[in-house]
């Protein structure tokens, strides 16, 4: 496989994104395939990134702008593309936005032999944009721009979205592939003793109190549980918490004070080692998002031996074998979630074998080196077709 120069561009960097696909895909393309890689990004304000160990050895970070102005960032990134397009073999940009499409158009105009990759990262809400509607004039304009884009490869993170997007993008003449999110599997886990030592903990982690993450559904489900059936089970909430979430939790504890000793909260954990240790203690990981393009926390929890209970969003069906190796519940269905948790707590559902299956599934199919090699193969095939055309 030829070593190619990569430039990955991302709009609006956040402190922890070097540990997610934004930072990890360029890292592993560089480490696994030998691709010299730039990560070009914009920051709304100046803050310290949480940088993985040895990251700068493999990826050059290029902050093109520190400004709240999206227009300024767009111009600065276009200028980066203008200056470097001819030396960039692969341009990787994220999300279906006009900025992404403008950068791809400029790149291909300056380097027609280069490969432009658009990582869509869409959830089910985006599908409405592909349907004709007189009420979505801005979206129609974006779709026209998308249809005429010279992008070479489109990727999407889940099979569910692939099946639903494929007819639309095929009509536009674009090429779509599944490219899942990866997990850091570099430190091998002896998973059998990890699962055997699990504590009776239901863990929820993320941005608690946001509309997307919908952690209130977990609180509503807890309130429906019978205290006498809980034994030594506890419920842990880890992550940044909104005032609304704290208020909702306080109301729950006023109504059900017997749960006070069972519910623990903890702020955002920046250390990956510390977060992994939390995952490895919890028997169950619970995600109640209203939408996800993938849901990386589910894959991380599964790799660390958690049994998964999730709303039917993102990669949850693939990470639970369509609910055969975990449980899927409808969004907003606190009653259904309470029943799922009660089945686990009372022993009606044995979690160990499903946790082992989920760990093996992530380790085999969702490790970052494999994901990087998958993208490398797609790029090589694109280049090969072009050279024989």
Rounded Cα gap, residues 310 and 327, in angstroms: 6
Query: Which two three-digit tokens encode residue 91?
Result: 């341009």
Rounded Cα gap, residues 172 and 389, in angstroms: 21
Q: What are the helix (H) ranges across the chain?
A: 21-33, 55-58, 70-84, 98-110, 137-147, 159-171, 191-196, 216-224, 243-255, 272-281, 296-303, 316-319, 334-345, 352-365, 368-388
What is the structure's pLDDT at 134?
A: 57
Rounded Cα gap, residues 172 and 338, in angstroms: 44
- What's the pLDDT band for 2 if we cut at 50, 70, 90? confident
pLDDT for residue 61 is more than 70: yes
Residue 178 is given by DSSP the state E
What is the structure's pLDDT at 51?
A: 93
| Mean of pLDDT values over 354-378 | 97
pLDDT digits (tens, 9 = 90+) for 223-233: 999 999 999 99
- Against a cut of 0.75, is the pTM above it? yes
Asked if residue 383 lies in contact with residue 389, where contact means CB atoms within 8 angstroms, the answer is no
- What's the pLDDT band for 135 if we cut at 50, 70, 90? low
Domains of the chain, earliest start first: 6-182+367-388 (3.40.50.2000), 191-365 (3.40.50.2000)
């Amino acid at each position: 496989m030829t070593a190619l120069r990569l430039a990955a561009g991302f709009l609006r960097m956040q402190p922890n994104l070097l540990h997610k696909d934004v930072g990890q895909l360029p890292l592993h393309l560089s480490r696994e395939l030998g691709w010299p890689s730039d990560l070009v990004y914009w920051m709304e304000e100046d803050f310290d990134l949480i940088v993985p160990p040895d990251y700068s050895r493999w990826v050059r970070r290029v902050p093109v702008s520190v400004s709240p102005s999206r227009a300024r960032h767009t111009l600065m990134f276009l200028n980066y593309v203008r200056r470097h397009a001819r030396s960039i073999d692969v341009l990787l940009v994220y999300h279906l936005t006009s900025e992404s499409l403008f950068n791809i158009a400029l790149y291909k105009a300056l380097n027609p032999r280069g490969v432009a990759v658009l990582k869509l990262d869409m959830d089910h809400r985006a599908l409405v944009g592909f349907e004709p509607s007189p009420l979505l004039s801005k979206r129609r304009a974006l779709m026209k721009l998308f249809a005429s884009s010279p992008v070479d490869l489109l990727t999407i993170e889940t099979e569910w979205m692939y099946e639903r997007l494929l007819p639309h993008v095929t009509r536009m003449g674009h090429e779509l592939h599944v490219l899942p999110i990866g997990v850091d599997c570099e430190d091998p886990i002896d998973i059998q003793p990890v699962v055997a030592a699990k504590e009776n903990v239901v863990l929820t982690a993320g941005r608690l109190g946001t509309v997307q993450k919908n952690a209130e559904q977990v609180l509503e489900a807890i309130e429906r549980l019978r205290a006498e059936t809980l034994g030594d089970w506890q419920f842990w909430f880890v992550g940044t918490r909104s005032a609304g979430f704290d208020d909702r939790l306080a109301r729950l504890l006023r109504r059900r004070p017997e749960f006070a000793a069972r519910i623990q909260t903890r702020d955002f954990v920046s250390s990956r080692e510390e977060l992994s240790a939390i995952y490895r203690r919890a028997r169950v990981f619970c995600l109640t998002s209203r939408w996800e393009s993938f849901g990386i926390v589910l894959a991380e929890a599964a790799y660390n031996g958690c049994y998964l209970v999730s709303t039917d969003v993102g990669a949850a069906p693939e990470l639970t074998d369509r609910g055969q190796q975990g449980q899927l519940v409808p969004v907003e269905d606190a009653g259904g979630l309470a029943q799922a948790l009660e089945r686990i707590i009372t022993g009606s559902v044995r979690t160990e074998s499903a946790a082992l299956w989920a760990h093996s599934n992530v380790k085999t199919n969702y490790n970052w080196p494999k994901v990087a090699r998958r993208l490398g193969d797609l790029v090589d095939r694109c280049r090969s077709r072009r050279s024989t055309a």
